[in-house]
A and B are shown apart, each in its own frame.
Chain A
Amino acid sequence: MTLLQVKDLTVEYHTDAGIFRAVEHLNFRLEQGKSLGLVGESGCGKTTAVLAMMRLLPEAGRIVGGEARLDGTDLLRLSPTEMREYRWHKISMVFQGAMNALNPVRTVGSQIEEPLLLHETTPRNRAKEEVARLLDLVGVSPSRANQYPHQFSGGMRQRAMIAMALACRPRVVITDEPTTALDVMIQAQILDLLQELQAELNLSIIMVTHDLGVVAELCDDVLVMYGGRMAECADADTIFNQPAHPYTRRLLLAFPDINDPRAELASIPGFPPPLDNLPPGCRFEPRCDAATAACAHEIPVDVEVAPGHRASCLLARPRKG
């Protein structure tokens, strides 16, 4: 069952220097109980896209089109008051940088308690109990609720952030680079935790990351973004084994594989396009080794390579058989 469906999402930043389109005509769906990986290099618009859904864009950000239907309700059309009912209750987020996202002068427990009280899901006299339950759920001893963030290690802070996101029992949790600043072993612990929580609570997860390995380990479906647009979208197995977009193929070549350590790594030459100077045709054309003359001026449309597998590339063709 589709829980969240995003159609034609377009987001702009209106700044003194001009108007920049950070996300353009983005389409995807998130199934109940599944996880979707949102992948791409820095600056490809993945965080902007999820902040737009949460209606937490910075002041300069404007949603200029599209819809994001959560269980039939379009989040983008809700008034700020209505959205406040949805945020944390139905859709919540674990923000990037667990190290810095907690308030250093308040105890961890009181910060987890805050959404419970604000949203009145829990009566005040039961809040402490609920905080203990949440900490236990994410593998932190409830006795540490009265400690401050600096007394927590990086991995524990990330767990506390996850507890906070789960406080009002949302159906969708967005995690933005949940493991990027963590050591490998702690990263594995957090990935295990997310997997357990997903199964236990039937959560749907959107995981924003540039780490393809994390996506391969955890996600059911993958959306690859480039320059604010979708490059490719399919189930994880297809993305990693039958990629149709040259950008996806190049990303895979740049990622080291412990099972094949001597395979040559090839980085992608050049940089993602700056938002104030986007190429007129396909946004990946300047860096694409397969580009043809048409790619420089023709904007690619989504090609259905196979059922459930879309690629936005002029060279993509439906797969036979």
Chain B
Amino acid sequence: MNDLVLEVNHLRKLYPVSQGIVDSLRRLPQRWVHAVDGISFTLKRGEILALVGESGSGKTTVGLCTLGLVEPTEGHILLQGEDVVELVHSRRRQELRRQAQLIFQDPYESLNPRQTVLRAVAEPLQVHHLAAGKADRVEKVTVALEDAGLKPASTFLHRYPQQLSGGQRQRVVIASALVMNPLYLVADEPVSMLDVSIRAEILNLLLSLRDEHNITMLYITHDLASAAYLADRVAVMYLGVIVEIGPADVVLNDPRHPYTQALMSVIPVPNPRRRHKRMVLQGETPDPIDLPSGCRFHPRCPEANHICSEVEPRLEDLGEDHQAACLLVSGTGENGQSAIPVMGEKVRS
């Protein structure tokens, strides 16, 4: 049990749709954005889970909920066995803020242009009173910068963000998370704004942080190829739910959900000899306000049949710790169930 760093159970997060005055006078019912609609997963110490999905799939909301920055509508999130929401409302909030850190997407916007690298990275230390005096602060910042690959740190301390390249800025952002010695790190699209040639070094840095500091990570991305490179396990999200989850090797070698298959087929392969048919889904992810009935993916699914618009699939065991939520995929694992028994239980009107 001690090995589990993060447990997410049936997490839901709904946002109210703002109503105009006319709507409220007409007493129209409140409508909701189903950003995250019932997801569960766990993370072991030192594990990297990639949360993969398109814009609007709810992956960032999940990340923010696990950090206690967004309060869930339903469900529980346990960080090392303690309820994150309770921690946020208790005196031990500072402890949570130390242990759980976030790396933002855009290193061009997440650093204050008027702060030196030293000030930016030292700020969390000051907020948490973690440094005994200036010398200690500089010492801790130096260690964090070098851990983030900015060596020698002394040449970076007094620079401003505009004097750094995109890759170096992202390293500064990572250093300001590392300086707190976090247990758990959420990396939200940390490489999508960077040049391809720099992405590899940031991904390798994240891997080395896991190996050397045993940091547990939630890697949020829309890019399955980088997820495959970095993560131990992969969870594919669509419209607020996980449609497939499992060990990265297993999911990528044998994707079972049609959505995962489509996502994989559209990833550009860096060799013209391996050009293949792209399974391009038409249209865009539907609105998370009025969700499709049955399987949320059925309006865009190339394999959908009449059942799919009526029955909401649940995650089914496929063996090897691999699960997919699709009525057309039958379980092969020990607890595997075919789609048929599910029908009777959960028919949506």
Q: In whole angstroms, what is the CA distance A259 to B252 when docked?
A: 9
- B229 touches which one: A210, A216, A261 (CB < 8 A)? A261
Q: In whole angstroms, what is the CA distance A42 to B281 when docked?
A: 31
A16-24, A74-82, A183-191, A311-319 - interface stretch: A183-191
Main secondary structure of the interface of B (DSSP, over half): helix
Q: Which residue of A lies closest to B262 (CB)?
A: A185
Q: In whole angstroms, what is the CA distance A68 to B280 when docked?
A: 37
Q: Does A266 contact B (CB under 8 A)?
A: yes
Number of cross-chain contacts by CB at 8 Å: 125
B3-11, B128-136, B153-161, B264-272 - interface stretch: B264-272
Q: Are A41 and B268 in contact (CB under 8 A)?
A: no
B13-21, B68-76, B196-204 - interface stretch: B196-204
Q: Which residues of chain A are within 8 angstroms of B201 by Cβ–Cβ distance? A: 267
Q: Which residues of chain B are within 8 angstroms of A216 by Cβ–Cβ distance? A: 268-272, 275
Q: In whole angstroms, what is the CA distance A192 to B201 when docked?
A: 31
Q: Does A148 contact B (CB under 8 A)?
A: no
Q: Are A184 and B284 in contact (CB under 8 A)?
A: no
A26-34, A45-53, A101-109, A248-256 - interface stretch: A248-256
Q: Are A186 and B284 in contact (CB under 8 A)?
A: yes
Q: Does A292 contact B (CB under 8 A)?
A: no
Take A153-B284, A213-B267 as given contacts and tell me if A183 and B195 are in contact as well, using a CB distance cutoff of 8 Å: no
Q: Which of A156-181 contact B (CB under 8 A)?
A: none
Q: Are A188 and B278 in contact (CB under 8 A)?
A: yes
Q: Are A237 and B273 in contact (CB under 8 A)?
A: yes
Q: Does B228 contact A (CB under 8 A)?
A: yes
Q: Are B55 and A183 in contact (CB under 8 A)?
A: yes
Q: In whole angstroms, what is the CA distance A174 to B278 when docked?
A: 23
Q: Which residues of chain B are within 8 angstroms of A192 by Cβ–Cβ distance? A: 278, 280
Q: Are A184 and B223 in contact (CB under 8 A)?
A: yes
Q: Which residues of chain A are within 8 angstroms of B229 by Cβ–Cβ distance? A: 256, 261-262, 265
Q: Does B225 contact A (CB under 8 A)?
A: yes
Q: Which of A56-73 contact B (CB under 8 A)?
A: none
Q: In whole angstroms, what is the CA distance A217 to B204 when docked?
A: 26
Q: Which of A206-242 contact B (CB under 8 A)?
A: 210-214, 216-217, 236-237, 240-241
Q: Are A261 and B196 in contact (CB under 8 A)?
A: no
Q: Which residues of chain B are within 8 angstroms of A213 by Cβ–Cβ distance? A: 225, 267-270
Q: Does A258 contact B (CB under 8 A)?
A: yes
Q: Are A237 and B228 in contact (CB under 8 A)?
A: no
Q: Does B248 contact A (CB under 8 A)?
A: yes
Q: List 16 A-B contacts (CB under 8 A).
A: A183-B222, A184-B222, A185-B54, A185-B263, A185-B280, A187-B266, A210-B196, A211-B268, A216-B271, A254-B196, A258-B269, A259-B269, A261-B252, A265-B203, A265-B204, A271-B165
5 closest A-B pairs by CB: A213-B268, A261-B228, A267-B201, A188-B266, A265-B200
